[in-house]
Structures are given as C-alpha cells and as structure tokens.
Amino acid sequence: MRSISVVMLISMLVSAVAAAGESKERNGDSAITFSGVVDFSMGEVMNGLYKATKNGLSDEFPVQYPNTVGHAWFGQPLAQLNFGFNPGNGLKVVFGFEANVFLNTFPAELINNLAANGGQDIMPALMDWRIHQAQGIFSLVNNSSTSLVLSAGLMPYKYNPEVRNLGEFLFRSGTYPFFLINNYNFPLARLSGLRLNFNYGTEKIKLTFDQFVLTERNMPPMNDISFATIAGVTIMNILEIGGGVDFAHAIAVNKRLTTPDSAVYIIDSTAVTDSFGTLLYWDYNYGRYSFSGIKVMARMTVDPLGSIRGDKESAIGQIFGENGGKIYGEIAIAGLKNYPASFVTWVDNNPMNSFGYTKITERMPWMVGINVPAWKLLDVCAFEFEKYPAPYPNDYYQAFHNMGYPIPTWIDYYGNDPYYHRSGTEYDSAVYRIDRWYWSLYVKKQVFGHLSFIGQLAKDHMRWEINAGKCPNYDTEEITVKPGQWTWRAGMLFEF
C-alpha cells in the first residue's frame, strides 16, 4: 500500500509538471512555476556504530545492540518537486513534495535472520514522502535597496550560506537535552510558523533581519511555540557577521510535557530521623528539568577576494571561482541556563540526570570551514571541522522515544557496550569526556547545465534509518561516535 501511494504521488507530480509546461507553452508566461531535484547517491559506513531503537519489538528484534559495523553500504534516491503560484498583489504561494527510498541493506544480521525464517517479504526498502515546504509569501516592500517579506507555513531556512554539512546550530540542535542533527546534502532546517524578513543593500553594505514565531513540528514536545531572531551584516562583500537567539519552547501548549513532573533533580535533601536519631528516610527537595531554554548563535565569514570576485574571466576568478578562499565559522550555546547534576541514580522510580547541565562550555558547539580553491576542477570544495563538547552521547532517545525527558539519554541504556565504562554500580562517560571532533569534506561539480556530481567524506552526525519488519525504526544516536569512524557518499544530482 505504501509503495502504491508513492507511485501515485510521483504520477501526480509528473502530471502537474506536464500541465504546467503546457500552460507556459500556450500562454508564453505562466503564473505557475516549478523546480525540483532528483538525487541518487550511495555510500558506505567504513567504521561506525548502530544502536537501533526497537520501537516496541523487544521480543522480535534479534539483533544485539549496541554494536559496531564496518563496510556497511547504504543508498537513498530522493526526488523533490516545488510549485510556485503567483495570484498577484505581491502574494506568492510555494508548495513542494519530497520522496525518498532508503535502500535497506542493514543491519545484515536482522535481514539474514528474517530471510532464513521466510520473513524476507517484510523487509522492503524504506519508502517515505513528506511535504518539503508549504508557505505563503507576501511582499510588503520591494524596491532597489529594500525588501520586507512576510512568510507563513512550512519553510526551508538556512542562515549560513557557506555551510555544506556541519554547523547551522540554532535550528538543528536540542536545548535540553543538547544534541545536534545534520543530513546529507541538506545543510538547513525546515521551520513551521511565521517569518518576517527585512533586507537592505547597497554596494558597500548589506543588512538582513529575520523575526520568527515558530511552532514545533519535528521533535517532542510538539506544538510548543518558540520565538527566534536572526540578523546579519555584510561589509564590502569581504566580511559577513551574523548572530541569533532562539527562545525554544517559550510557550508550552502542555506544561506537563514541556516540564515533566517526573524529570526531577535534587536541590537538597534532609535526613528524617526518629526520636532516637535513627535515620528513617531522606526528604528530597526537587527541581524540574524543562525542554524550554534559550539558544544563542554567532557566525562570521571572511572573503579576502570579495571585492574582486565578480570578474569571473580574470585569472583569480578562474582559480578561485565563486567560493574558493572563503573562511567561515559558527559558535552557539544550546541552553543558557545551568541545571545541577543528581548525585543519585533513581528517585521514586524516576531516572535522574547524573551529567547535569552544569557547564555552559559543554553546550557550546563550534565549527570552522574553508572553501578550498579548486580552479575549474570543482565548483565547491568545502572542508569543515566541528567540536561537540557534551560529556554524553549525541542521542535524543530520551526526548524522542523513551518517556519524553529533557535529560541526556540514560547511560544504563548502554550497559552492555564495552565502549561505555562502569565502575561499581555507577556508569560514567569517560569516553565521552574526551575532545570529540567531527569533520566533513564536500565536493560538487556541475556539468551539462543541470547535472552535478557530488561527494562527501565525513565523520558527522548521520544516523541510521532502519526498517525492522513492518515498523520503521530510527537510530537516535549518530553512526560515527568513536575516533576513526567515518563514512563516504557519492552521487548524481539533477536540478531544474
């Protein structure tokens, strides 16, 4: 049924494209425009980790996890189609679909086990489609130097144009718990809500300002309202500076989900004794963790050739192209408020946060990148480094799957993994307290106008998509955790 739905969707999109093309051919200038992407890529996890979330299949899921894997292949064909409508009076409506197929060849142990027991038919490729964007865009002011635009709906958004993989922290991170997300060839976020965009530009200076009122559609707790502001200035096309703040989950639609009663930490404790001084029990004074928090971000791009880059036919233009030589970086704080760590593991059957959120520096990721000059061989060659400073896994299991807790993934979940260390009855995070570095090399070369070849080597935050029987499962922790783990991917991209 799912495959039939995907085929019907693609057929509808193709029919719509054909109709739009015929309309444009008849009228010379159609009010309907369309664009899209067809992306076929494949790759290999050279060395990595999987920890598949069983999603209720604890008795049927035969794979022992967590575990390490090597030379595991994967692929993900993707198609995207966007329509633009211009009713007039400054209004534009944009609507787009996205469909993909994750070629499900992993984990091999699970596939082989099911196939040996006649279950191969329930291991199809994981097919999925989603709405890529659906927004109304209303132009309030539009002249040679100034524009003011109001957008509403589901909108792709990117504030750092140079980023190819790592970074874009403000909208691709969790606050409490702190985690980072990225996706291949998609260095941006899909936001849902309202956006007011202001731009002012001359030859010497450009100003941009975005004000958002957002509603959460991606990670629990859903539907909470956030307020975000992002601003930037570009001087002489040489220096670009930007910053932003996100008041995440500022308005909770359900306070019991945003600040759960059971997500507690101990502020202090009092010993309760009898008249003989014998300890009866400890009386704890609790505080509560919350998903609500404030994130801030600052970024900078330096382009030493910004003032002369426009001359594409010059020797410098030939060697450096449109991007070569640009250096860019970003730093963020995912949560300004500190919370204490708990000194006990469980209280009243509620898991405690033994890590705490005690240091801002542990919630302060940063990255730096450079667009390497590649003459005419490549259009883009971006090399990026990132520091992830948290002393616990980059894992959103607690927030997304378990009980909706704004605390790091409970360390007991990894009890059988030799990568995690146990001392007596307490788990510690010795491995995660080392400096954790990530890197990415992204290349792109366009040929024949609309066709591009792309490739990437990376130790990034890619996560598995695994189809365990009829129930899709998603690994909530990144694949490349340990030093020496990395992946590669290559493919073709057709843009129109």
DSSP codes of every residue in 7-74: HHHHHHHHHHHHHHHHHHHHHSS-SEEEEEEEEEEEEEEEEEEE----TT-TTT----SSEEE-SEEE
pLDDT classification of 107: cutoffs 50, 70, 90: low
DSSP codes of every residue in 145-172: SEEEEEEEEEEEE-S-TT-SSS--TTTS
Question: Which carries the bigger pLDDT value, residue 19 or residue 401?
Answer: 401
Q: How do the domains of the chain map onto residue ranges?
A: 2-495
Question: Which carries the bigger pLDDT value, residue 334 or residue 263?
Answer: 334
pLDDT classification of 246: cutoffs 50, 70, 90: very high
pLDDT at 272: 78
Collapse the DSSP code of 107 into the 3-class scheme (helix H, G, I; strand E, B; otherwise coil) and give the result. coil
CA angle at 162 for the pair 158 and 164, rounded to the nearest 5°: 80
Rounded to 5 degrees, φ, ψ at 129 are -140, 155
Asked if the model's pLDDT at residue 491 lies above 70, the reply is yes
Question: Which carries the bigger pLDDT value, residue 156 or residue 479?
Answer: 156
Cα 267 to Cα 284: distance, rounded to the nearest angstrom: 8
pLDDT at 104: 57
Of 47-51, 177-181, 219-223, 404-408, where does mean pLDDT reach its minimum?
Answer: 47-51
pLDDT at 336: 96
Asked if the model's pLDDT at residue 449 lies above 70, the reply is yes
Note the pTM of the prediction, 2 decimals.
0.84
Collapse the DSSP code of 76 into the 3-class scheme (helix H, G, I; strand E, B; otherwise coil) and give the result. coil
Kindly calculate the radius of gyration of the chain based on its CA atoms and give it in whole angstroms: 25
Asked if the model's pLDDT at residue 444 lies above 60, the reply is yes
Asked whether the beta carbons of 338 and 348 are under 8 A apart, the reply is no
Asked whether the beta carbons of 368 and 355 are under 8 A apart, the reply is no
Cα 117 to Cα 111: distance, rounded to the nearest angstrom: 10
* Tokens describing residue 216: 């959460």
Q: Answer positive or negative: Cα dihedral of 158, 160, 166, 168.
A: negative
CA angle at 400 for the pair 398 and 406, rounded to the nearest 5°: 50
pLDDT classification of 481: cutoffs 50, 70, 90: confident
pLDDT at 60: 42
Cα 195 to Cα 184: distance, rounded to the nearest angstrom: 25
For the chain, the average pLDDT equals 80
CA distances from 143 to 139, 146, 273, 423, 464 (A): 11, 5, 76, 66, 46
Query: Ranked by mean pLDDT, which of 22-31, 240-249, 386-395 comes out on top?
Result: 240-249
Asked if the model's pLDDT at residue 439 lies above 60, the reply is yes
* Tokens describing residue 339: 């919370």
pLDDT at 271: 77
